[in-house]
Amino acid sequence: MHVEPLEKLPRSVREFLSHYSMIVLSILTALALEQVALRLEHRHEGLRAKEEIELEIDANRTAVESSLALTHANSEAWGALLKRAVAEARSGQGTNDSRVATLREAAGLFRDALPSLKTTAWDAAISDHSVNYLDHDQLTRYSEIYASQRLFTQAMWDTIRDTGIRDLSEISRGIYLEKTDPQATVTTLNERMLVLRILESQLSQLQDTLKAERTDASPAHASPSSAPAASAAR
């Protein structure tokens, strides 16, 4: 801001007040224009952050839907193996070879479909402080969604890691030794089925949370799903 100096001293109080008013008005106008420009810049940063975050949430939603479909299909396949193993154990018609064959099939199905949930846009918005220019309701909803994603990812990875090592070890042992009894076979298959059901349940809850973000136009937003109980699968 530049203020031109007076070429000559004012000759009266009225002239002094006139010059003084012009200077004050110029300063106030410059400050007001600066605030307007700053507000416009902040609004632009907030809209950019909002757009990037919503695109990221949409991508995560798609990943969750895909993972849920794969997990459901995997659960159906494991359910068929478990049903067969239980039927053989009850009837007493199963043989060691048939049980080992079942374990071989199970080893081929031993996989998970955890979605890769991104947080890049949210982390960037926090880092460059553009989240400060989102309205409170938007910020609250986004915070809930990303908190739900973090809880889901951590709990499910812990569950799958801990139970996966144990169950895969039991399956591998039976295959390597080419020997397994009915009870051990059913127990191993059942434990894996429980893990898949927990994963499927938590994916469904996370999917509902992400869908609510898309459809909820009101300030209130669905609360994030609770942290999965990893101990339930142990």
The yes-or-no verdict on residue 218 having pLDDT over 50 is: no
The yes-or-no verdict on residue 19 having pLDDT over 60 is: yes
Distance of CA 136 to the CA centre of its chain: 20
The yes-or-no verdict on residue 85 having pLDDT over 70 is: yes
pLDDT computed for residue 229 by the predictor: 40
Looking up tokens 């990893």 gives 230
Per residue in 87-98, pLDDT (tens digit) is 999 998 889 999
pLDDT computed for residue 120 by the predictor: 92
pLDDT computed for residue 181 by the predictor: 92
Q: Return the higher-pLDDT residue of 234 and 156.
A: 156
Per residue in 137-178, pLDDT (tens digit) is 888 899 999 999 999 988 888 888 888 888 999 999 999 999
pTM of the model as a whole: 0.70
> What sign has the CA pseudo-torsion 18, 23, 24, 26?
positive
Looking up tokens 């809880």 gives 151
Give percent of the chain with pLDDT exceeding 70: 78
User: Among 228, 233, 89, 93, which residue's Cα sits nearest to residue 166?
Assistant: 233
Tokens of 122: 């949210």
Q: Is 155 helix (H, G, I), strand (E, B) or coil?
A: helix
Q: Alpha-carbon distance 61 to 210, whole Å?
A: 6
- To the nearest 5 percent, what fractions of the chain are helix, strand and coil? 80, 0, 20
Assign 60 a pLDDT band (cuts: 50, 70, 90).
Answer: very high
| Sequence ranges of the domains in the chain | 13-233
